[in-house]
A and B are shown apart, each in its own frame.
Chain A
Amino acid sequence: MSANNQWNTATRLRKIHAFAALVASVLISSQAARAADESSVERVDAYTAQRIAAGYAATPVPVDLTGKDPAQVGIGAYIVNTVGVCNHCHSANQYYKAGFPITTSDHSGQTGNPYFLPAPLGPYAFPVTQRRDGGALFQIDTTTFVAGGQNFGSVDSKNLTPTVNASPTSYAPYLAVYAEGGIDWITYWAVLHNGVDIDQLFSQCGSSAPPGPNGCAKAPTNAALLQVMPWPTVRQLTDGDLNAVWQYLSAIPCTSNLANINAGIANSYGGGVLINQCSQPGDYKFYQYVGGKVVAIW
Chain B
Amino acid sequence: MLLEKLKNVWIKSAGLLGLTLVVGIAALPARIATAGIQTPAGTSTPSCGLGKQPYPSCPVSADDERIAKGYQINPVRLNLTGLDPRKVGIGSYWVNSAGNCDGCHGGVFVSVPGQFTPAENPANLPVSLGGTYTGKATYNGAIPYNPPATENPVAFLAGGNNFNPSGACDASGMGACGSTEVLARNLTPDFATGRPLPEGNTLAHFKTTLRNGHDFQNVGTTPGATSVAAPADGSKLQIMPWPALGSATDYDLEAIYEYLSAIPCISNASSPYPEVVHVCPATSDPSYGTAAYHPYGYANGQVQRLE
Contacts and interface: CB of A to CB of B under 8 A. Distances in A.
B15 A47 contact: no
A232 B213 contact: no
B300 interface: no
A153 B136 contact: yes
Interface in A200-243: 200-201, 207, 209-213, 217-222, 224-228, 230-243
B249 A125 contact: no
B60 A40 contact: yes
Nearest to B241: A85
Given A82-B247, A271-B29, A240 B18 contact: no
A179 B99 CA distance: 20
Given A54-B248, A54-B249, A163 B25 contact: no
Chain A: interface residue count, which band? 35 or more
Contacts of A236: 69, 73, 93, 96-97
A153 B55 contact: no
B76 interface: no
- For A224, A266, A272, A277, the residue with the greatest tally of chain B CB atoms inside 10 Å of its CB is A277
Contacts of A201: 29
Given A196-B37, A277-B16, A186 B46 contact: yes
A136 B213 contact: yes
Q: Is the interface of B mostly helix, strand, loop or mixed?
A: loop
A233 B103 CA distance: 9
B156 interface: no
Nearest to A191: B37
B244 A82 contact: yes
Interface stretch (B138-146, B258-266, B271-279): B138-146
Contacts of B229: 116
B236 to A, nearest CB: 5
B257 to A, nearest CB: 13
A277 B99 contact: no
A181 B12 contact: yes
B34 A187 contact: yes
B133 to A, nearest CB: 6
Contacts of A245: 98
Contacts of A23: none
B48 A48 contact: no
A234 B132 contact: no
A62 B227 CA distance: 39
Contacts of B184: none
A166 B236 contact: no
A116 B176 contact: yes
B133 A154 contact: yes
B142 A228 contact: yes
Nearest to B256: A83
Contact of A239 (B49, B100, B116): B49
Contacts of A43: 60
B166 interface: no
- For A58, A67, A125, A171, the residue with the greatest tally of chain B CB atoms inside 10 Å of its CB is A125
A48 B13 contact: no
Interface string A261-298: 00111100011111111000000000000000000000
13 contacts: A13-B14, A44-B62, A113-B174, A122-B175, A135-B246, A136-B243, A198-B37, A200-B30, A209-B1, A218-B130, A233-B100, A233-B102, A273-B20
Given A10-B15, A263-B19, 7 more contacts: A40-B60, A68-B57, A82-B244, A152-B136, A153-B171, A220-B125, A242-B46
Closest 3 pairs between A and B when the two form their complex, measured CB to CB: A153-B135, A6-B18, A240-B61
